[in-house]
Amino acid sequence: MNLTAAAVMAVSYVALIAAHEVGDHWLQTPCQAMTKGGTGWGARGACARHVLTLTATKVAALLVPFLMFHLPIRPLWWAVGLGIDAVSHYWADRRTTLRRLAELCGPGKTAFYGLGAPRPGHDDNPTVGTGAYLLDQSWHKLFLYVTVLILTGGAR
Q: pLDDT of 39-85, one tens digit each?
A: 999 999 999 999 999 999 999 999 999 999 999 999 999 999 999 99
Query: Is the model more confident about 13 or about 118?
Result: 13
Q: pTM here?
A: 0.90
What average pLDDT does the structure give for the chain? 92
Mean pLDDT of 3-27: 95
Percent of the chain with pLDDT over 70: 96
Distance CA 113, CA 137 (A): 12
User: Crossing angle of helices 131-153/107-114, nearest 10°?
Assistant: 100
Q: Which of the 8 DSSP states describes residue 69?
A: T
Which segment of 57-71, 93-107, 115-129 scores lowest on mean pLDDT? Answer: 115-129
Percent of the chain with pLDDT over 90: 81
pLDDT of residue 129 exceeding 90, the answer is no
Structure confidence at residue 90 (pLDDT): 98
Structure confidence at residue 140 (pLDDT): 95
Q: Is 115 left (phi over 0), alpha (psi -120 to 50) or beta?
A: beta
How far CA 44 is from CA of 20, 91, 97, in Å, comes to 20, 10, 13
The band of 33, judged by pLDDT with boundaries at 50, 70 and 90, is very high
